């Protein structure tokens, strides 16, 4: 398939609410492009776990994630549950790769979706996968991490975050010693 350009902060398409995919089989070229674009981003930048279709110019409800050795193609995902219990983290995004944002996410989530074969699925997640799903689902609704910034000193360049926060946030729930790396 194709490696696509990732839309950057300021592109108005990133604020679009993505449309439902009428026929999951028609999503195949898009999720293949998502996979290829994710792999290229990982090759160039050394990190990355997920990407939404709107980030490569398709305002459709499609997300591609690779997390702990498992690949997920989520077509028409919808929330079933988001816990009231939350945690704070530094989040980043392919659409603004040198900016990190301190924000809050639900600790546990559950969503339903259709996969690339057209089968219905459900994911329950906590910690890092929960955060990643929330980040990508926000993209489908035109919401960016910068919109969820906590009050105060909630923005840092990647270089400054590495210098100041990398070690001190190594024990965040689901985080390890890194930022989100969506």
Dihedral angle of Cα 116, 145, 102, 174, to the nearest 10 degrees: -10
Beta bridge partners of 110: 81, 124
Q: How would you class 11 by CB atoms within 10 Å of its CB: exposed for 0-12, middle for 13-18, buried for 19 or more?
A: middle
Query: What is the DSSP annotation of 109-132?
Result: EEEEEE-TTS-EEEEEEEHHHHHH
Query: Measured between alpha carbons, how far is residue 182 from residues 100, 128, 137 in Å?
Result: 11, 10, 11
* Residues 6 or more apart in contact with residue 161 via CB below 8 angstroms: 90, 100, 179
Annotated catalytic residue 136: yes
- Catalytically annotated residue among 60, 131, 136, 172: 136
**How buried is residue 142: exposed, middle or buried, by Cβ count under 10 Å (0-12/13-18/19+)?**
middle
Residues taking part in catalysis:
136
């Amino acid at each position: 398939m194709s490696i696509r350009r990732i839309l950057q902060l300021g592109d108005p398409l990133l604020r679009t609410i993505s449309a439902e995919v009428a026929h999951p089989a028609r999503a195949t070229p898009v999720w293949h492009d998502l996979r290829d674009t994710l792999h290229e981003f990982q090759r160039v930048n050394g990190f990355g776990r997920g990407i939404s279709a709107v980030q490569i110019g398709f305002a459709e409800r499609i997300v591609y994630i690779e997390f702990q050795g498992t690949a997920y193609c989520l077509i028409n995902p919808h929330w079933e549950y988001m816990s009231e219990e939350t945690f704070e983290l530094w989040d980043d995004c392919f659409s603004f790769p040198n900016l990190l944002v301190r924000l809050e996410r639900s600790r546990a989530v559950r969503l339903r979706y259709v996969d690339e074969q057209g089968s219905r699925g459900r994911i329950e997640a906590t910690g890092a996968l929960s955060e990643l799903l929330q980040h990508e689902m926000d993209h489908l609704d035109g919401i960016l991490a910068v919109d969820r910034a906590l009050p105060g000193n909630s923005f840092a360049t990647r270089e400054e975050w590495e210098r100041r926060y990398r070690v001190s946030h190594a024990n965040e729930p689901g985080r390890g010693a890194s930022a989100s790396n969506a």
